[in-house]
């Protein structure tokens, strides 16, 4: 794949319930995620979410994998974490790791 751009898309607060959070992300934000991925210059995307309890892990992993498969060879990952050194380091890693796609990772400071 030719050199392109890594993008980050931050999604604001989602409901506490895993089911409600998943439904809101899909209904309110999936279009924006797809818009970024469909830009010719985009070669990778990290979707940034707020930290959440472990009940959110399964839907976040599934979404990351589904997006990565649909938009291959573009890379798609989902990262969660509050502001701080660990989340910034994680985002830098995902930006620069050419073989990493379809993952959900959560940073902890």
Q: Express each pLDDT in 30-43 by its tens digit.
A: 999 999 999 999 99
- Print the domain residue range for 66: 50-109
- Share the mean pLDDT of the chain: 93
Is residue 34 assigned to a domain? no
pTM comes to 0.92
Contact 4, 43 (CB under 8 A): yes
Integer CA distances (angstroms), 56 to 17, 51, 69, 73, 98, in order: 8, 9, 20, 26, 26
Q: Express each pLDDT in 51-99 by its tens digit.
A: 999 999 999 999 999 999 999 999 999 999 877 778 889 989 999 999 9
Is residue 104 assigned to a domain? yes
Is residue 4 assigned to a domain? no
Total domains present in the chain: 1
Is residue 91 assigned to a domain? yes
Is residue 85 assigned to a domain? yes
């Amino acid at each position: 794949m030719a050199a392109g751009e890594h993008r980050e898309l931050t999604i604001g607060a989602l409901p506490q319930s895993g089911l409600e959070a998943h439904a809101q992300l899909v209904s309110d934000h999936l279009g924006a995620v797809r818009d970024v991925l469909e830009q010719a210059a985009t070669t990778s995307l990290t979707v940034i979410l707020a930290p959440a309890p472990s009940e959110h892990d399964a839907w976040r992993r599934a979404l990351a994998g589904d997006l990565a498969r649909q938009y291959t060879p573009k890379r798609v990952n989902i990262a969660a974490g509050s502001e701080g050194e660990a989340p910034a380091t994680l985002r830098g890693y995902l930006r620069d790791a050419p073989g990493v796609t379809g993952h959900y990772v959560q940073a902890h400071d």
